Structure 1
Amino acid sequence: MKSSVIFSILILILEPVAAKSIYKVTCESPDSCPESVVGLNYDGKSVCTGVLVADDIVATNLHCIPEDIRQNETSCKGRITVTFPASRSRDEEYGDCEQIKWVSPALKDTALTPDWAFFKLSKKAPRLSAPINTSGISDGEVLTLYKIDPTDKGTGILRKVSCPAVQNSLANPFFTGVKSPIIAMVPCETMKGNSGSPLMTPNLEVKGLLNSMGTAADVNLKKAPFYHVSFGSNFACINIPGIASSASPHPDCGKANISSDIREASANLISRFTDPLMKSFNADVNTELDKLHAQSKFVILWDVDQKNRPFDGVQTKVSEVSFKPECINFKKDKMRTQQGRLQNGTVTYNLEYLEWGMEIHLDNGGRPRADLVSKKAQSTLQFSPAQMTSGQPVTFKHGHQSYTLQFCEDIRKK
């Protein structure tokens, strides 16, 4: 099992299965069963899915390859077998792995990293291969996922599902463009044993491979609305002579991400939505600050009391601003001249203003949206003018709170 900051990721290997080298696979719909999709069994105990992309080349996930042979030009004889399921026009057929040809970088502690491998069969397969499409995956593009679901009897059923790709989602903050190395599909329900399933166009071109999955229970953002998330490796990153060549690949195509990368990418994604609002946010707060100064006759200067919280999916308000009195805006010497002239008593100012905040909301795909929100506030400011003639700190009551304030000139001297 892999994990990440956002998800406890489940890689989609099924382990263990019946200890046998042949993985029996049938098509749920024999009339529309693609010839290129294969069931994969390695070391007689674990199963995945793969796809034939050339006469004798199968693509699958790197984590579906035994750890000791995850290297280019390494023999896989006797370690991996593939099953081509029967269809209306084809009988069930089998193939043996000859050599691991090309693999992605070593896997890290997260599924949000490239995860692919290509291996050569011992002989050409009597099936039509599926061409690779390296044009990339667009936001909202609906991909056809051909996956083999293992059964409790040790067999597999090839099924077809449709999954929409979702960019700029906290489910996968790295998926921000058509050539991003790792994509997210929401909703896309998959299961163990689906690893390596091809992500196809309607005309059966392969745009990527399924890597892993996450569910609502795995989301550290607690009540975030996205669910049944699946991740995939984008073949826009593939550049293998004779197999696929991507023009202008993404600069992160060879990067294996770690947990700290995910935290940074998530923060950057949220900032893309909050930063454009900050100028307006600050202007709105300053407007209310000016109102408070005017309503309190500039007897005191006010300060902003801002509380910032990390977004956790439950507490949507990430920034909240209120106001508090800061200091007495009179000269102490001037106030002393008023001794005896100011009667003991209480002065009250009625205050009306807005308290501002910034909220983040997620849609069903986990995409953030930032909003500025305000609420009306009413309060009173009360104090005794006579106390200010002493030149000592004075108690002010603002709403239900009391503040002991110094003169502003004393604060500036410090």
Structure 2
Amino acid sequence: MDRFGYFIFLIAILVSRAETAKAFQVECEDRANCSSSVAGLAMTGGSVCTGFLIDKDVLVTNFHCLPEGLKKVGSSCEGQIHFLFPATQDHQAEEADCDKILSLSSSDGDEPLRMDYAVLKLKSRVERPPLYVNDSGIRDGEDLTIYKIDPVPGRGGVLKRVTCPAMQNTIINPYFDGDLAGVVSLVPCSIIKGNSGSPMVDSSGSVKGVISASSELSLPEEVVQDKPNAKLNLASGTSFACIDLPTSAVLKSSLHAECRVKMDSKARKKRVDDMLEASRAKLQQQLNKTMDTVAADLTKAAHGIIHWKVDVIEATSEQNKKGIQSIFQFVPECLNLQKEKLAEVSTKLKDGKVSYDFKLPEVEVIMAYDDHYRIVGKTVRTDKLTTVDVVPTDLLNDEKSKIYLNQTPLPILSCYRRAN
């Protein structure tokens, strides 16, 4: 490019910058609680995002915010991305231009929940404090403050803040299963288009991650039975525990294993299925102990004559739709009388039978969700009044022995024969 061409190029950049600044301005909702490190990003094509300083000439935003032609490390972003910092309590409004792309997350795979970040170099240093990067990970339940720029049609954007709790082990984001996970979720959290690239700041003022996406879900019916149309706003982002920044001060020698987990639709489904199975197995293990105690109590109530056992029945597809995974039922296991004793008892009974009334528990194991879409195992117990009739003459034939549950015959063996 000759001098004349370069001169024209510079004029074009200045004109573009002036037009961008005029069309897109950023102001603080509350200057006293406004971060001086956060900027609005105005890009060629009219799209806007949020970003924040981690050095006086280095800014972080999202990969998906960048124009298609800039999604390559080393690309020049001069004249294509403009930064607008609002006036705060301690700083005047300031503008800056983009120089080049320093680092990017990958765009591979079909998983919408993925690490999403871009590190940009500014043309010159700005007179604002950067945020200190904390790469120690994000704890379950940790409150994080999001400094976000909400677009305002016709005049730019307003820098606001909102505090949201981090939530691990939700079915929405099964990858966020530990503090060092790369993709995290904030539930609930009100994030809108234009907030992409906002910092997630902890209680000490350090930045722990960058917001990248938001969604709205209907709350589970079992959580909001009285509000069937209730919605849940949530956000996701990338943790600095898994961002290898291209600056010597924070460059990691190696990323955590959690940063290298496979993320695609198949992996996500498997993780959700594993979460469900683990919760179900844990709940069923706890129930087994309780049910064994109940079975022993039922045997005692029948004076030791009827021994009981627990049958676990897999739920039908229709029951699965209601969250029911399995059903625990109590059934007679065997009769604790020898044949000689049965014959003796038979001759002494006036009406030919012995009757017992029981309240037999039936327990449904249900996998539901709480208001953060975490899996919650619960049980629903129903006690059913049941009459058991023992007719000794019906028990003398080992091959055809039976008792009656609410007058319905039920084949049964002698505990002695069963033991042999």
Tell me the TM-score normalised to structure 2 length. Answer: 0.74
| Aligned residue in 2 for 1:231 | 236
Deviation, structure 1 residue 147: 0.1
1:205 matched to which residue of 2?
206
Are 1:129 and 2:136 matched, yes or no? no
Task: Tell me, yes or no, if the aligned pair for 1:175 and 1:181 is still in contact at 8 Å.
Answer: yes
Determine the structure 2 residue equivalent to 1:172. 173
Q: Which residue is equivalent to 1:306?
A: 313
Q: Distance in 1 between matches of 2:256 and 2:316?
A: 33
How much has 1:145 moved relative to structure 2?
Answer: 1.1
Contact 1:113 1:256 in 2 (8 A): no
Per-residue CA distance 1:349-394 (angstroms, 9 max, x = gap): 4334433444556554444444566444430134766667788768
Residue 81 of structure 1 pairs with residue 87 of structure 2? no
Q: Distance in 2 between matches of 1:97 and 1:232?
A: 23
SS at match of 2:64: helix
Determine helix, strand or coil for the equivalent of 2:258.
Answer: coil
Partner amino acid, structure 2, of 1:307: E
Question: 1:265 is matched by which residue type in structure 2?
Answer: R
| Structure 1 match to 2:120 | 119
CA distance in 1, matches of 2:53, 2:175: 28
Query: Equivalent residue for 1:189?
Result: 190
Q: Matched residue of 2:191: which SS?
A: coil
Which residue of 263, 266, 279 maps to 1:260? 266
Greater Rg over alpha carbons, structure: 2
Q: CA RMSD in A?
A: 4.3
Q: 1:160 — aligned with what?
A: 161
- Are 1:355 and 2:356 an aligned pair? no
Alignment CA distance shift 1:390-1:158 (3 Å): same
The whole-number CA distance in structure 2 between the counterparts of 1:240 and 1:44 is 28
SS at match of 1:120: strand
Alignment deviations for residues 56-102 of structure 1 (CA, whole Å, 9 cap, x no partner)? 22211111123453232233344332222233554443333332221
270-279 vs 280-289, which moves further:
270-279
**CA spacing shift, 1:33–1:286, aligned 2, 3 Å:** closer
Counterpart AA for 1:381:
V
CA distance in 2, matches of 1:69, 1:326: 72
If each structure's helix is expressed as a fraction of its own residues, which one has the higher value?
Answer: 2
> Per the alignment, in what secondary structure is the counterpart of residue 253 of structure 1?
helix
Deviation at 1:291, TM superposition (A): 5.3
How many angstroms does 1:151 deviate by?
A: 1.5
TM-aligned CA deviation for residue 52 of structure 1: 1.7
Distance of aligned partners of 1:263 and 1:154 in 2 relative to their CA distance in 1, 3 Å threshold = farther
The answer for unaligned runs of 5 or more in structure 2 is 1-18, 225-230
* Structure 1 residues 399 and 99: CA distance shift in structure 2, 3 A: farther
Conserved in 2, the CA contact under 8 Å of 1:344 and 1:384?
no
Deviation of the 1:202 alpha carbon: 4.6
> Which segment is superposed worse, 285-294 or 231-240?
285-294
**Which stretch of the first structure deviates more once superposed, 128-137 or 288-297?**
288-297
Q: Which residue identity is paired with 1:380? A: T
> Cα deviation per residue 1:100-154 (whole Å; 9 max; x = unaligned)?
2211122544443211111222333343322222122223322221100012325
**Count of aligned pairs:** 388
Name the SS for the 1:239 alignment partner. Answer: coil
Match of 1:399 in 2: 406
The equivalent of 1:322 in structure 2 is 329
For 1:326 and 1:67, locate their aligned partners in 2 and report how far apart those are by CA, in whole Å: 69
Give the distance between the partners of 1:168 and 1:349, measured in 2 at CA. Answer: 47
3-state DSSP of counterpart to 1:228:
strand
Partner Cα separation in structure 2 for residue 64 and residue 264 of structure 1: 30
- Give the Cα–Cα distance (whole angstroms) in 1 for the partners of residues 175 and 368 of structure 2: 19
Q: Which amino acid aligns with 1:229?
A: L
Q: Kindly indicate whether the alpha-carbon contact (under 8 Å) linking 1:107 and 1:113 is maintained by their aligned counterparts in 2.
A: no
1:215 alignment partner AA: E
Structure 1 stretch 61-70 or stretch 247-256: which is displaced more? Answer: 247-256
Q: Quick one: distance in 1 between partners of 2:148 and 2:306?
A: 72
| Preserved CA contact (<8 Å) 2:53 2:131 | yes
Amino acid at match of 1:235: F
Which residue number in structure 2 is paired with residue 11 of structure 1?
none
Matched residue type, 1:116:
Y
Counterparts of 1:368 and 1:159 in 2: how far apart (Å)? 32
* 3-state SS, counterpart of residue 97 of structure 1: strand
Q: Aligned letter for 2:74?
A: E
1:407 Cα deviation after fit: 7.0
Structure 1 residues 371-380 or 27-36, which shifts more?
371-380
Query: Residues of 1 paired with 2:412 and 2:59: CA distance?
Result: 76
Alpha-carbon deviation of 1:197? 0.3
- Give me the whole-angstrom Cα distance separating, in 2, the residues matched to 1:270 and 1:305: 18
Shift of 1:50: 0.7
* TM-score relative to the length of structure 1: 0.75
> In structure 2, what is the equivalent of residue 378 of structure 1?
385
Quote the Cα distance in structure 1 between the aligned partners of 2:89 and 2:320: 49
Alignment partners' CA distance in 1, 2:307 and 2:90: 87
1:72 and 2:98 correspond: no
**RCO comparison, higher one (Cα < 8 Å, 6+):** 1
Letter of the structure 2 residue corresponding to residue 51 of structure 1: F
Instruction: State the Cα deviation string for residues 234-253 of structure 1 (Å, max 9, x = none).
Output: 11222224262358743121
